[in-house]
Amino acid sequence: MKCAYCNHENPEGETFCSKCGMKLEGAAPAAPPPAAPVQQPPAPAPAPPAQPKGVRCENCGVLNPEGASVCKSCNKPLVQPTAPPPAAPVAASPSVCPSCGFDKNPSTAKFCMSCGKQLTPTPAPPAAAPPAAAPPPAPPVSYPVAKLVLPDMKEIPISGPEEKIGREDLLRVASPEDTKFVSREHLKITYENGRYYIVDEGSTNGTKLNGVEIKGQGKRELNTNDEIVLADTVTVRFQM
């Protein structure tokens, strides 16, 4: 095929001149590019399956015909989905089905009234522990009545678990002449485990219990009518 521009002979079937590059007259037109594929719209998502019609038994999960009042499987009374749930003794939120999200199930239902799946029971919150009772108050400590009695029947009362006796105490019931040898804190009387005891408090002139010197001898148990002599001048008797 001869080029119309440079008269160069080109082989048959060429589209452009191999010498000058011009398009050859009478060359077959180039094939058009293939058409782009037509974009098809995405297929619509399948519709969810229709829920079966009827009344689902909340006890056994069997689907019963619409309008039925008793389950055909377990003969339990049916609760209609549109009817309000019966009042429960304890208020509880309705059971929401974890499978289909149906939230109209009664709080006592075991199976979903919409899809029939078993419901997960909601655990009840633990009951609050009752407050601990306060311990009873300790009973007051009582001590048996005791006293020191002088020969003239004057008395020095003993009260509480511990009583110290000295010159000032005896001056209320005895003369200064009789008490001048008694120390300021001469002796002590204590109550321990249901018993009274006497102990000399390091007096100058000592203490005798039933004629026996107890100075420096520790405590001695007291009994009713025991004789106590302070500094060899003041005599008293212990009485309960």
Could you report the per-residue pLDDT of 18-39, keeping only the tens digit for each? Answer: 777 777 776 555 556 677 777 7
Q: What is the pLDDT of residues 136-188, one digit of tens each?
A: 888 777 778 899 999 999 999 988 889 999 999 999 888 899 899 999 999 99
Mean pLDDT of the chain: 82
Determine which helix (DSSP H) or strand (DSSP E) holds 178, and give its type and residue range. helix 176-179
Strands 207-209 and 195-200, by their bridges, are unpaired
Q: Where are the beta strands (DSSP E) in 47-169?
A: 55-56, 63-64, 146-149, 155-158, 162-165
**pLDDT value of residue 225:** 94
Q: The domain 146-239: what is its CATH number?
A: 2.60.200.20
| % of the chain beyond a pLDDT of 90 | 32
Cβ atoms of residues 238 and 146 within 8 Å: yes
Cα three-residue angle 221-224-228, rounded to 5 degrees: 65
| DSSP helix/strand/coil, 177 | helix
Whether the per-residue pLDDT at 91 is higher than 50: the answer is no
pTM across the whole model: 0.43
Among residues 50, 60, 105, 112, the alpha carbon closest in space to that of 83 is found at 105
pLDDT of residue 115: 83
Both ends of the chain: CA-CA distance in Å? Answer: 157
Domain map of the chain by residue range? Answer: 1-27, 54-121, 146-239
